[in-house]
Chain A
Amino acid sequence: MKKVMIGNHAVSWGVQRSRVEVISAYPITPQTQIVEELSDMCADGRLPARYIKVESEHSAMAACIGASAAGVRTFTATSAQGLALMHELLHWAAGGRLPIVMADVNRAMAPGWNIWTDQNDSLSQRDTGWIQLYCETNQEVFDTTVQAFRLAEQINLPVMIILDAFFLSHTSEPVDLTDQEIVDEFLPQRVAQYKLDPSDPHAFGALVRPDAYMEMRWQQQEAMRDTLRVMPEVDEAWGALTGRRYGAIEEYRTEDAELLLVTSGTITSTARHVVDARRSSGEKIGLVKIKMFRPFPTALLRSALAGADRVAVLDRNISPGHGGIFAEETRSALYDVPLEDRPTLFGYVLGLGGRDVTPSVIEAIVDRTREAEAPERQDLWVGVEL
């Protein structure tokens, strides 16, 4: 069934199709429509879930942690300050190996107050142990939501689905809502390996001494490594049922490319247009979209980028005192590529706080990357310096 809907409602429908059992959420712009729609779905019976209307994002995540530990499928959504407020509990969810799924609508952090998109909220949670999946279209948002539950429950790690504020959250696109029977085949009811059960009592999250703590973290890291294998399998299983696949990264017109753009989120769609236009005038240019940021698809990215002369990474985020975060991680991934195959990497910081990234902005980046002798610095600020 195809419907025209905003990205936020694509999340809600993904949650509905996934038969989530407990939702706990708190409103924040620009996420709010996700949980408003879920409230309606719970009220009118389309989704027979328990919806806990908590007093903060902090308690939203805490209640999801409790429900997930009881063995059921749980969901919440947030943005920016709300996600930052959850920070401690993101560690509890991941360290507790709880397959919670959360949507984060990428919104810039205050101050100054700003409700528009950038990625600093989700990237600030990089090291909490959550799988992070960035989306480009509303269809991808719906598909990723359903996939996220299967991935989370197979790996026992929480998953964050990430979509750009307004460019996706409030923008309408047609979305094919996969039939319930197909989703049910793809995603059966959660069967928790470990749960709070009075007939089989165990303690969870107790004190762990130095002689065992590292092994716990090792298992978490192994689960992240497994995710590099399992995420594409889940994507393929969904693709076999629906025809829609995304991959951990996507290579777009990368064959024989001399210059490659690296993007994430909705900037990718704009960049595709630029690539198409330049290709039609004979330029050897392509695009690599990073969908999965954690675990970082190092090997895939290395093979996609090695051989190009120049790579321009577009970062709608900044790690103050360092550079754009995707650029830094991509640079790190390329370090093991032999020098003769290693492209020169240009990092561009742009679009912070929702500033438009138009085709002409990307055109300027392409021209500059092609013409510059070398990157002056790790990060060049588009619209400020360029």
Chain B
Amino acid sequence: MSQTIIKDLMPKDELLASGHLACPGCAAPVAMNLVLKALGPQTVVTLPACCWSIIAGPWPQSSLRVPLFHTAFETGGAVASGIKAGLAARGDTETTVIAWAGDGGTFDIGLQALSGAAERNEDIIYFCYDNEAYMNTGIQRSSATPWGAWTTTTPTGEPEATPKKDMVSILAAHGIPYIATASVAYPVDLVEKVKRARTIRGTRFIHILAPCPPGWKTQNDETIDLARQAVQTRVFPLFEVENGRNWRLTVDHADEPVAPYIRRQARFKHLTDEQVERIQADVDDRWERLQRRIDCGT
């Protein structure tokens, strides 16, 4: 499939303006662009503190052509709930209200508000664009940071000691109607998932891996390729979950080894071959558990 054809498959709405403030090679605006294309202009964006607080642009500018509400770091789920209720109170039940948060705002400081919104089954779509650390404050570890990674708070002498938190399972345990993982390297899959989510009522959660050149210590032109490799190595498999059950893969996953994906990111350069093997074992174990869920349908 050539690039031209993929572009033709994309919705035509251009709701992200040029001139935004993302770093070169950042996946986050690519993700936002695709999501807004899928959702269309009748959308309100709730934006807790994250890289996008900067990317969106300072007052009096905005890089989005939809209403955008900047808010406190830990409040994505709650503020989006309030916006939805406020619109609905005046009869607008059609506008899609989304929260757009980084991994810090989702996995860590915003987890309580997100869990509250999910438990109440608020009619919102919560997006997490996950660059696997606090990148906006200069690369500090979050609970989304993978085992073994360097960050400024997990220096190479004592790198990240725990594996990445399994957010999707936490959300699945809430039994919300729709969960998906998505990748900027699979735009058709991503857009299909967002369009599908838009037709469902209740809390929907979409987790997008967002490679970060300054934080992952990679080249600016590697982002999409890295995102694709994360899927093909099964580090970040692409799937959907309905109502906490019915787990289903949405693309074909190759069985590429993890080592080349790890070795091209300098945040892992201190790891020994044995340590990379440990990452491979963890990826295999997570894949095995995902397969079991897919097989038994729960």
Would you call A196 and B79 a contact (CB within 8 A)? no
Residue from the list A53, A71, A92 in contact with B72, Cβ < 8 A: A92
Kindly state whether residue B65 has any CB partner on chain A within 8 Å: yes
Interface stretch (choices B109-117, B127-135, B228-236, B274-282)? B109-117
Would you call B88 and A50 a contact (CB within 8 A)? yes
**What is the 8 Å Cβ interface bit string for chain B, positions 151-185, against chain A (1 contact, 0 not)?**
00000000000000000000000000000000000
**What is the 8 Å Cβ interface bit string for chain A, positions 44-78, against chain B (1 contact, 0 not)?**
00000110111110111011111111111010000
Scoring B46, B62, B84, B86 by chain A CB atoms within 10 A of each residue's CB, the highest score goes to: B86
Would you call A201 and B72 a contact (CB within 8 A)? no
Would you call B75 and A62 a contact (CB within 8 A)? yes
Would you call B70 and A22 a contact (CB within 8 A)? no
Within the complex, the shortest CB–CB distance from A202 to chain B, in Å, comes to 6
Within the complex, the shortest CB–CB distance from B71 to chain A, in Å, comes to 6
Would you call B113 and A67 a contact (CB within 8 A)? no
In the assembled complex, which residues on chain A have CB atoms less than 8 Å from the CB atom of B59?
A: 203, 206-209, 212
Would you call A50 and B42 a contact (CB within 8 A)? no
Interface stretch (choices B5-13, B22-30, B50-58, B202-210)? B50-58
Within the complex, the shortest CB–CB distance from B67 to chain A, in Å, comes to 4
Report the Cα distance A202→B62, complex, angstroms. Answer: 8
In the assembled complex, which residues on chain B have CB atoms less than 8 Å from the CB atom of A204?
A: 67-70
Report the Cα distance A106→B53, complex, angstroms. Answer: 36
Kindly state whether residue B87 has any CB partner on chain A within 8 Å: yes
Kindly state whether residue A205 has any CB partner on chain B within 8 Å: yes
Would you call A52 and B120 a contact (CB within 8 A)? yes
Kindly state whether residue A89 has any CB partner on chain B within 8 Å: yes
Kindly state whether residue A88 has any CB partner on chain B within 8 Å: yes
With A52-B120, A198-B95, A206-B62 already in contact, the answer to whether A67 and B54 are too (CB < 8 A) is no
In the assembled complex, which residues on chain B have CB atoms less than 8 Å from the CB atom of A144?
A: none
Report the Cα distance A70→B81, complex, angstroms. Answer: 11
Residue from the list A53, A65, A203 in contact with B68, Cβ < 8 A: A203
Report the Cα distance A197→B87, complex, angstroms. Answer: 9
Kindly state whether residue A24 has any CB partner on chain B within 8 Å: yes
Within the complex, the shortest CB–CB distance from A81 to chain B, in Å, comes to 16
Would you call A52 and B67 a contact (CB within 8 A)? no
In the assembled complex, which residues on chain A have CB atoms less than 8 Å from the CB atom of B75?
A: 58-59, 62, 65, 89
Would you call B81 and A66 a contact (CB within 8 A)? yes
Would you call B80 and A66 a contact (CB within 8 A)? yes
In the assembled complex, which residues on chain B have CB atoms less than 8 Å from the CB atom of A88?
A: 72
Query: Closest A-chain residue to B77, C-beta based?
Result: A59
Within the complex, the shortest CB–CB distance from B100 to chain A, in Å, comes to 13
Query: Closest A-chain residue to B75, C-beta based?
Result: A62
Query: Closest B-chain residue to A91, C-beta based?
Result: B72
Would you call A72 and B90 a contact (CB within 8 A)? yes
Kindly state whether residue A153 has any CB partner on chain B within 8 Å: no
Would you call B90 and A207 a contact (CB within 8 A)? no
With A22-B86, A89-B75 already in contact, the answer to whether A206 and B57 are too (CB < 8 A) is yes
Within the complex, the shortest CB–CB distance from B225 to chain A, in Å, comes to 32
Within the complex, the shortest CB–CB distance from B168 to chain A, in Å, comes to 20
Report the Cα distance A68→B65, complex, angstroms. Answer: 21
Within the complex, the shortest CB–CB distance from B270 to chain A, in Å, comes to 35
Kindly state whether residue A140 has any CB partner on chain B within 8 Å: no
Kindly state whether residue B32 has any CB partner on chain A within 8 Å: no
Would you call B115 and A55 a contact (CB within 8 A)? yes
Residue from the list A21, A52, A198, A208 in contact with B41, Cβ < 8 A: A198
In the assembled complex, which residues on chain A have CB atoms less than 8 Å from the CB atom of B78?
A: 24, 54, 58-60, 62-63, 66
**What is the 8 Å Cβ interface bit string for chain A, positions 27-57, against chain B (1 contact, 0 not)?**
0000000000000000000000110111110
Kindly state whether residue B83 has any CB partner on chain A within 8 Å: yes
**What is the 8 Å Cβ interface bit string for chain A, positions 188-204, against chain B (1 contact, 0 not)?**
00000000111001111
With A203-B56, A203-B70 already in contact, the answer to whether A71 and B41 are too (CB < 8 A) is no
Would you call B70 and A205 a contact (CB within 8 A)? yes
Would you call A62 and B82 a contact (CB within 8 A)? yes
Would you call A203 and B113 a contact (CB within 8 A)? no
With A59-B75, A198-B43 already in contact, the answer to whether A69 and B115 are too (CB < 8 A) is no
In the assembled complex, which residues on chain A have CB atoms less than 8 Å from the CB atom of B46?
A: 66
In the assembled complex, which residues on chain A have CB atoms less than 8 Å from the CB atom of B67?
A: 196-198, 201-204
Q: Give the interface of B toward A (CB within 8 A).
A: 41-44, 46, 53-54, 56-59, 61-62, 64-72, 74-75, 77-90, 95, 112-113, 115-116, 119-120
A/B interface sample: 26 pairs, CB < 8 A: A49-B89, A54-B81, A55-B113, A55-B116, A58-B113, A59-B113, A63-B82, A63-B85, A66-B69, A66-B78, A67-B82, A67-B85, A70-B44, A70-B83, A70-B87, A72-B89, A72-B90, A74-B82, A74-B86, A89-B75, A196-B67, A198-B95, A201-B68, A206-B59, A206-B61, A207-B53
Q: Give the interface of A toward B (CB within 8 A).
A: 21-22, 24, 49-50, 52-56, 58-60, 62-72, 74, 88-89, 92, 196-198, 201-209, 212
Q: Identify the 9 closest CB pairs spanning chains A and B, nearest first.
A: A66-B82, A70-B86, A55-B116, A63-B82, A67-B86, A62-B78, A205-B70, A59-B78, A203-B62
Please give 4 more A-B residue pairs, beta carbons under 8 A apart, in addition to A55-B115, A203-B59, A204-B70.
A63-B85, A66-B82, A70-B89, A72-B90
